[in-house]
Amino acid sequence: MRLLVTGAAGFIGSNFVHYWLAHHRGDHVVALDALTYAGNLANLAVVRERITFAHHDIDDLPAVQKLLREHQIDVIVNFAAESHNSLAVLRPRVFFQTNVLGTQNLLEAARNVGIARFHHVSTCEVYGDLALDDASAFTEESPYRPRTPYNASKAAADHVVRAYHETFGLPITITNCANNYGPYQFPEKVIPLFATRALTGQTLPVYSSSANRREWLHVDDHCSAIERVLLAGTIGQTYHVGSGVEVSVAELATRILGQLGLPLSRIETVPDRPGHDRRYLLDSSKLRSELGWRPAIDFDAGLAGTISWYAEHRDWWRPLLERAPVDEKAWATSVD
């Protein structure tokens, strides 16, 4: 297979490139990234000799078409996005520019050149939130009810991807995934944020709505799910990727402090973010029953391994602390 992976220098994109090359040794990967503040070539260092890196914006039609032709790409996997909910509250426009128009540009390039598959990576957040005591979960048929600019931009992108399938027959698949955790996640997101602050003697900022919870999936399990969909998924279909493991933000803070042997007095309660979703939970039975996918990484072991990774890779994350695009207070109170 010859893949173009967009957003490949980000958290999930880089883990996906590592995963793919470990499991498909003969395949060719072109890693495209605009290298925004969230993109980091160091994330690709361990595979640098085995890939072609292309420094482009997904919104650059001639550049994307040239890559598709020159590398005879079969499959595009689109991870590129502005991904930080808290930043979207402060600077919404770039989220729509990249996540909606950038995705539309990639689709247009794929339509013009011709490819075997356009796989789009989306989120559980397009469905809005669930009440904390609601027993239901979002299915692939649930109505879209995004509540934040980030969620709205991802929801719009999903619609554009489906429209290119319905209107132009482009061979697409979509996965909507729960919150990911693992190595190489930018320290603006909650688990690396808590880990790096704990490791540097700072407080862990927990929103006043600390009972809000998320469904957590290890990034390697997300990669194996995308692999299943690329190899066995049905064109035009959407698949949910979730672990079923829900953990509150307060509990995360407690566990991280516990692992590092630090006192609970390090937790600091801060005001809530506007539009902060209470809870998401995905019903991923379609992916499990139709394609036989299962998450393989236990949450307790995965979280412990991730915290250890941050403790052992200070040289990776220290320079990133200077690259946060918004003021310290807004950034520090980020949850997803």
186 touching ligand NAD, by CB under 6 A: yes
What is the distance between the alpha carbons of residues 93 and 235, in angstroms, rounded to a whole number? 31
* Range list of β-strands (E), 242-302: 246-248, 267-270
**Minimum CB distance to ligand NAD, residue 164 (Å):** 17
Q: Which stretch binds ligand NAD (CB under 6 A): 175-183, 197-205, 223-231, 300-308?
A: 175-183
- Residue of 189, 174, 249, 259 whose CA lies nearest to 215: 249
Which of 58/332 has CB closer to ligand NAD? 58
What is the distance between the alpha carbons of residues 61 and 244, in angstroms, rounded to a whole number? 39
Largest CA distance in the chain: 57
- Name the β-bridge partners of 172: 118
And the tokens for 282? 């995905």
39 touching ligand NAD, by CB under 6 A: yes
Residue 290 host element (H or E): helix 285-291
Q: What is the DSSP letter of 68?
A: H
Residues 265-304 vs ligand NAD: string with x where CB under 6 A? ----------------------------------------
Q: What is the DSSP letter of 102?
A: I
7 touching ligand NAD, by CB under 6 A: yes
Which of 38/51 has CB closer to ligand NAD? 38
Contact residue for ligand NAD among 3, 5, 9, 109 (CB under 6 A): 9
Phi and psi angles of residue 206, each rounded to the nearest 5 degrees, phi first? -110, 130
10 touching ligand NAD, by CB under 6 A: yes
81 touching ligand NAD, by CB under 6 A: yes
Residues 97-126 vs ligand NAD: string with x where CB under 6 A? -x---x------------------x-x---
Of the chain, the end-to-end C-alpha distance in Å amounts to 33
Q: Given the rule CB under 6 A, which residues bind ligand NAD?
A: 6-7, 9-13, 33-36, 38-39, 57-59, 79-83, 98, 102, 121, 123, 154, 177, 179-180, 186
